[in-house]
Structure 1
């Protein structure tokens, strides 16, 4: 019985357990196989990365005050965070990795960077 590449159907030469004729066929096959299941994770990670870059850009001194409109103008999405931190006083900080924000009065936010 002649073995064929799972992606392109070409004849396989070499090892008995070989499934693909080339790295390109192996990559194409696996990318197609994982495309749908990984799409949600990829989109969430892209959103978190964008939020992180925005907070990092607006907070160069590790503690800043910024308006909601400035964050939205840059494309910040308040639905994507990685951690919540509540202080003893009851204030809740929202973090995207080590960059965070605390809602203040009048649609302003205190931007902070968590120390390791």
Structure 2
């Protein structure tokens, strides 16, 4: 029975130690680079969306408290699935925050809206 393995990058035979995975340092480096690109690609996507969300919330909430139609934010590129933290008030409402700008989903007269707020010191308690 043969113990021959092939390199996952170039399919060349792997020679040497039994736990060796790649045929060369070059193929090992290529594999690590591709893995890093996938991992960092996810980070870059999340970071980019958080920056977009923050910019949109900041632009629509100049006063520290605003109410706006949900679709208006969504149309600008806002994605409510990307947020940094949350805060729950005494009534049980959960505000999602993108850094210092928060939003709460509400239904008002059958229209979906967001209540926009800015982080306050008392929220940290």
| TM band (smaller chain) | 0.5 to 0.7
- Which segments of structure 1 move beyond 3 Å, counting only runs of 4 or more? none
Instruction: Answer yes or no: is 1:111 the counterpart of 2:116.
Output: yes
- How many residue pairs end up in the alignment? 86
Structure showing the higher strand proportion among its residues:
2
CA deviation after TM superposition for structure 1 residue 37, in Å = 2.5
Residue 109 of structure 1, CA deviation: 1.3
Which ranges in structure 1 are unaligned for 5 or more consecutive residues?
A: 1-28
RMSD: 1.7
> C-alpha displacement at 1:40, in angstroms?
0.6
How many Å apart are 1:108 and its aligned residue? 1.2
Give TM-score, length-normalised by structure 2. Answer: 0.63
- In the other structure, the counterpart of 1:18 is none
Counterpart in the other structure of 1:91: 93
Counterpart of 2:50 in structure 1 is: 48
Give the alignment's TM-score, normalised by structure 1: 0.67
